[in-house]
Chain A
Amino acid sequence: MSALWLMLAAPAVGALVLAAVPSLPLAGWLNTAFSAAALAAALWVGETVSRHGELASTYLRVDAFNVYLLVLTTFVGLTTAIFSRPYMREVCHQGRLTRRRMRLYHAMYQAFLFTMLLALSTDSLGILWVAVEGATLSTVLLVSLYRTPESIEAAWKYFILCGVGIALALFGTVLIYAAAQGVTGEGDAGLSWHRLYQNAARLDPGVMRIAFVFLLVGYGTKVGLVPMHFWLPDAHSEGPTPVSAVLSGLLLNVALYAVVRLKMIVDGALAGGPTAQLAGHLMMGFGLISFLVAVFSLRRQKDIKRLFSYSSIEHMGLMTFALGMGGPLATFAALLHMLVHSLAKSAIFVGVGHASHIAGTQRIERIRGLIRTQPRWVGGCCWGWRPSPAFRPSASSPASS
């Protein structure tokens, strides 16, 4: 219990503290410290769940599904914070950012972690929505941190498209709540995932069908499913490197997690009816289209960060497809893929960001000769790129096969 609250409190307090700290080096260390505290609390939560099976409190619930996502999120949050400290100091010295904006950056980084952890650990669908929207809002200003026209445009697109998507997801949530009124009674129980999952068979299938379509389109916008993906390459490539790393590595996972939780309820509601497989088929369709579009777009990319963000779309498409298929093997593969993708993608963005920082540009053809000047970096990147489907054997190949 206290582990859960500690895990949520660490980034929340961190955001407030970092908003007030003016000194840049201190802020960097504090950022790392708060992320480490969150990781420690998440590991404690994980240990408790492995002993007891699940951990529940008002509005919060951690079970076997989201416990590993919590640990993963805090881990990647910590590694990116470690990288961001010297990197952002260097960027600040170059003059691309002011002290005030660095304060905003650090505070929003912790706020972002807080909203993601809240989304992953909550039991209430309403709070899940509020947290995912909060995650969008906290990163919007981060994407446009450099204040170039391109980054402002990217942030605006991100804001508008994700805001619209999330609003549609809210409509779906309202429909689920309405359907639950007759079954779970009034009040908070109508949004509790646990209660809904238990009573899924009694929910009205017609309403749940429509609700799932809205929810898939809504949360799918945040996952980066085609055709709602247009914000993704811009937002992931225009922000500072640590921001791209956490957006690609973590936020997409959280959105996919939301979709899967809802699919579990909808499958229960539609089971036995004529459209029992609707949720799965929709996810498979969107996932496949995302995969194909991303693969064909990869060839055309000249900017290295855009290249990797399309790769994120491709991987998320694969995961959505696998989770849509259902069944224990595909689900295990998808979850393993999620884990490896988060670790690898954040590492890749960190490495790529470092390279483009050295080369001074993000255009692929201009980043050359690094094997001579930065051999250790090259070695690290090679290890990082192995999990991509092109290299075998790797952890994501069972998922793709």
Chain B
Amino acid sequence: MNAMAPPLLGQSLLLLAALTLFLSFALLGQTRLTAAIHQFAWQGAMVAAVTALVAAGEGARHLYLSALLTLGLKSLLIPWMLHRLARRLEMEREVERLHHPAVLLLAGTVLVVFAYWVALPIERIGGHASRNILAISLAVVLIGLWMMVGRRQVVAQVLGFMSLENGLFLAAVAAARGMPLVVELGVAFDVLVAAILFGIFFFHISESIESLDVDRLNRLSEEETE
């Protein structure tokens, strides 16, 4: 009466991809900093799990290494660094006030639909249910982008950037069974350096404008010279 359900591996991949997307939304609307960092860590763990499953399914050994790399970097190291930063800047209990939380989240769903539309023409890509997971990963990228635009607090913007990188990693795993190891190491290194630089920046910004609200970063403008 109905089609055979896809095998367990495919189902788990879809489930993990969907949970990654859900965590993107959770990050988008999460105003408490420590909760947001934890959700980001979970998202990194989901992406690492997807990588490990694809490695198991395809027999690609180097993917186990990149799964480990993602887990270590995105799930453990960077959240730890952000926690330490939040503690030093005394921001742990800070709650950001979102202007229009409903609009923020619903715009995210529009981005999901848009990502699906963009990915529709990609017919021939190998792997398990790859085109759909590619659409999900593009959605995660776009939601990360939207988070950087729509949130005012700098740590939230950084989390948006990192979640964008999570989406890119998911795309690489889904579409192409991971990039060559050299490139992955390079990307991981870049992400780590970026995280360190973000940390340095928070201190500079917090010292210079006494807050971490980017709306206050508004001295450079072309109108004031008229």
A residues engaging B (CB < 8 A)? 59, 124, 126-127, 129-130, 133-134, 137, 140-141, 144, 147-150, 152-157, 159-160, 163-164, 167-168, 170-171, 174-175, 177-179, 181-182, 186-188, 190-191, 204, 206-207, 209-210, 234, 238, 300-303, 306, 363
Contact = CB atoms under 8 A, between A and B. Distances in A.
A177 B176 contact: yes
Nearest to B172: A174
A160 B157 contact: yes
Contacts, number: 136
Contact of A137 (B172, B194, B209): B194
A144 B204 contact: yes
Interface of B is mostly: helix
Interface stretch (B4-12, B46-54, B78-86, B116-124): B116-124
Contacts of B193: 134, 137
A178 to B, nearest CB: 4
Given A170-B168, A174-B175, A149 B183 contact: no
B220 interface: yes
Given A153-B217, A156-B205, A160-B161, A127 B122 contact: no
A134 B141 CA distance: 20
A38 B59 CA distance: 43
Contact of A302 (B138, B182, B201, B225): B225
Interface of B: 118, 121-126, 138, 141, 145, 148, 154, 157, 161, 164-165, 168, 171-172, 175-177, 179-180, 182-183, 186-187, 189-190, 193-194, 197-198, 200-201, 204-205, 208-209, 214, 217-220, 222, 225
A336 to B, nearest CB: 32
A149 B201 contact: no
- Please list the 7 inter-chain residue pairs (A to B) with the smallest Cβ-Cβ separation, ordered nearest first: A126-B183, A130-B186, A178-B175, A302-B225, A178-B176, A153-B217, A206-B121
A147 B206 CA distance: 12
A174 B176 contact: yes
A187 B182 CA distance: 10
A187 B180 contact: yes
30 contacts: A124-B183, A127-B186, A129-B183, A137-B190, A137-B197, A144-B204, A149-B209, A153-B220, A156-B154, A159-B198, A159-B201, A164-B145, A164-B148, A167-B164, A167-B168, A168-B141, A170-B168, A170-B187, A171-B141, A175-B171, A177-B176, A177-B179, A178-B125, A178-B176, A182-B126, A187-B180, A206-B121, A206-B122, A209-B121, A210-B118
Contacts of A178: 125, 175-176
Contacts of B214: 156
B219 A153 contact: yes
Contact of B182 (A127, A171, A190): A127
A156 B206 CA distance: 12
A197 B117 CA distance: 29
B197 A175 contact: no
